[in-house]
Amino acid sequence: MTAGRLLVVDDNEMNRDMLSRRLERQGHAVTMAENGRQALEKIRAEPFDLVLLDIMMPELNGYEVLEQLKNDGALRHIPVIMISAVDEIESVVRCIELGAEDYLSKPFSPVLLKARIGASLEKKQLRDQEEAYRLQIEAEKKRADDLLHVILPDSVVEELKATNAVKPRRYERVAVMFCDIVEFTSYCDGREPEEVVAHLQQLVEIFEELAFQHGLEKIKTIGDAFMTTAGLLKPVEHPVLDCVKCGLEMVARAPTLPAHWEVRVGIHVGPVIAGVVGHRQYLFDVWGDTVNTAQRIEAFGLPNAVSVSGGAWKEIASVCRGESRGLVEVKGKGELEIFRVDGFV
């Protein structure tokens, strides 16, 4: 038989002691309470697998104790066997309706008592296992949900969970920013992988925080390049300016880190298409000429500087200082004018 932690509640000391000794001989750990109020205090203070509860008691009778237990969400799972000299069918019905697991009349049969206790403890054990499984499933579900939110933006996660798909969309005025480490390949050649990855992790974490502070949406990292957008998943009034503010801080922070990297930032604004690709490994991404142009502007940019396209410069010229670097031949685009942003007016 399954052993358990039992609470015996009876105002008669002789009955209490006799029942407790019998249960202890069966291998149970037994605690005693001499009235209903004391029983509730003990139940709230320590865990029990089963309560054997007398009905006729001073202060709080068994009905009142049972009702309080079953109305308490933290305690209602504890099974209760009512043991009483009251052998009326109305009393039995009332106890069962209040949530009692079982009912035994005094004087009770020791064999029947043992069987009823064993059955109640087995049911309690099964309920505990089910609750443990439920909590485990909920924890695993939360971990999966948290991971999904790390991989994908919140609004995309909600749509994916609701429809099991994410509808591709076109967005008309999105600022796209790329930030790339200068001479990263040569830096990697002379160092251990652990050192390179540790420094890259530190840089990306700082860039993620800066992007968050400026209301940007991180899209992905591509090798040593960091890609983010403004005005994609939530409308903003000045997407280019938000990117410029973030980009200037990235340029300022990178050299102060242990790796002393220099970075290039490139920004362009225009329409993009966004959606989720992949099935085993989801990836939220953006596509279109705006993305390609932003990446090429970054590639033609100067170290430790923020470069923007002519179209992006028009949106910030009244509030920013900078100068044109002239026309640059960009593959697939022809000649583009690129501006270096130096700061704010």
What would the pLDDT profile of 5-39 be if each residue is shown by its tens digit?
999 999 999 999 999 999 999 999 999 999 999 99
* pLDDT score of 284: 86
CA atoms of 187 and 299, how far apart (whole Å): 18
Give percent above pLDDT 90 in the chain.
63
Helix (H, G, I), strand (E, B) or coil at 59: coil
Using CB atoms within 10 Å of the CB of residue 318, give its burial: 0 to 12 exposed, 13 to 18 middle, 19+ buried: exposed
Tokens at 335, concatenated: 């000649």
Q: How high is the pLDDT of residue 1?
A: 59
| 244 pLDDT more than 90 | yes
The per-residue pLDDT for 195 is 94
Asked if residue 204 has pLDDT above 70, the reply is yes
β-strand partners of 217 = 229
* Whole-number Å distance between alpha carbons of 279 and 318: 45
* Residue 251 binned pLDDT confidence (cut-offs 50, 70, 90): very high
CA dist 104 → 18, 189, 213, 278 (Å):
16, 81, 66, 62
Helix or strand (DSSP H, E) at 14 = helix 13-25
Rg, Å, the chain Cα set: 35
Tens of pLDDT, residues 67-121: 999 999 889 999 999 988 776 788 888 998 999 999 988 887 888 889 989 999 9
Identity at 104, one-letter amino acid code: L
pLDDT of residue 291: 95
pLDDT value of position 105? 84
String of DSSP letters for 100-169: -SEEEESSPPHHHHHHHHHHHHHHHHHHHHHHHHHHHHHHHHHHHHHHHHHHS-HHHHHHHHHHSS---E
Q: What pLDDT does 148 receive?
A: 75
Distance CA 77, CA 72 (A): 9
Q: Look at residue 181 and give its three-state secondary structure.
A: strand
Range in 123-137, 239-253, 305-319 the model is least confident about: 123-137
Q: What pLDDT is recorded for position 161?
A: 81
pLDDT, tens digit, 9 for 90 and up, residues 279-288 = 777 788 999 9
pTM for the structure as a whole: 0.64
- Closest by alpha carbon to 107, among 193, 25, 22? 22
For residue 290, the surrounding DSSP H or E stretch is helix 289-299
Q: Which domains does the chain possess?
A: 5-136 (3.40.50.2300), 164-344 (3.30.70.1230)
